[in-house]
Amino acid sequence: MGIYMADFMQFPTARERVLTFGDTTIGFIPEICLVSHFQVGSWPILYRPAETGNVKRWGMPLMIPNFSRLKDGIFKEKNTTLPIHGFGRNLPWTVIAGQDIEGATQLSIQLTSSDATRPSYPYEFTFTATIAVGAGTLTFTLVMENRGDEAMPIAPGFHPYFSVAQQDKSQIVTDGPPGFDVKAFDWENNPPNNPYLFPHRVTLQIPYHGTVVVEELPVEGAYALANMQVWSEPVTKPDCAFVCFEPTVGSEDALNRPADRLTILPHSVRRLVLQLTAKPQELQSA
């Protein structure tokens, strides 16, 4: 049974589009805006739920328009309800570029406001996500366009599941986020679920694998991702061999806090760029 389960999640699955550049490979499931695979050399950096196939514990989803839970599930501005981590991972996105290009190095997809989004988030928007592969890099550009006549509050984020063996979690070495101490947690039973300030660049050393840099690139000198949530699952969970370092606009319920969210003016656009750069251990001394 175990062999069969692993086979059905073997990369690439039928749903995954593949982008390559040299020895760097990205897998992407366009319809749910999920970066499903990021590999440099022989190192698969992002977690794949090989046995469960659980799409909610996989790769690097985009959380939009909100990260995490809203208090009581309520979006106060409009007195509507929004699900944990927003609707962006539940609704179908459309491929707009890169669909037919052999050897494409980037892919763009789009989600537009519709009857499925307006009851919970009554704004006219177009979200465009572009995923690009480079030498050891994954670059995710998110363009949020407010097509309506009123200001649009938004507080998205990214949820990368970095693959780390359970026994290696306490050996991660990192230069941030500030205040995070890997030794302060019982990784077996009570792993972190804590917000920290995101200094726009954090370097992680994953034991026996290599280093990965999580970095927000400024757009016209401005940054958007101010929070980094560190989270993992206890060893009792079927999917637990990962640690998440999640760059987000704000911490839990930020969409309900004007100071901690983005506000996109009517008929305006906001862009943000996240880049992951990985260097496998075998290349460290190179």
List Cα–Cα distances, 114 to 117, 119, 121, 152, in angstroms.
5, 9, 10, 15
Task: Quote the CA–CA distance of 62 and 125 in Å, as a whole number.
Answer: 16
Tokens of 72: 């009581």
Q: Tens digits of per-residue pLDDT, 27-56?
A: 999 999 999 999 999 999 999 998 898 888
Residue spans of the chain under pLDDT 50: 1-5
Structural domain tally of the chain?
Answer: 1
CATH code, 168: 2.70.98.10
Q: How far is CA 38 from CA 1, 60, 237, 264, in A?
A: 26, 9, 23, 31
pLDDT computed for residue 284 by the predictor: 59
- Per-residue pLDDT, 32: 95
DSSP class per residue in 196-212: EE--SEEEEEETTTEEE
Q: Give the structural domain span for 94.
A: 2-284
150: number of Cβ within 10 Å? 11
Is there a cis peptide before residue 192, judged by omega within 30 degrees of 0? no
Token output for 167: 């026994």
Asked whether the CA dihedral 190, 193, 197, 199 is positive or negative, the reply is: positive
Give dist(CA 74, CA 82) in Å, integer: 6
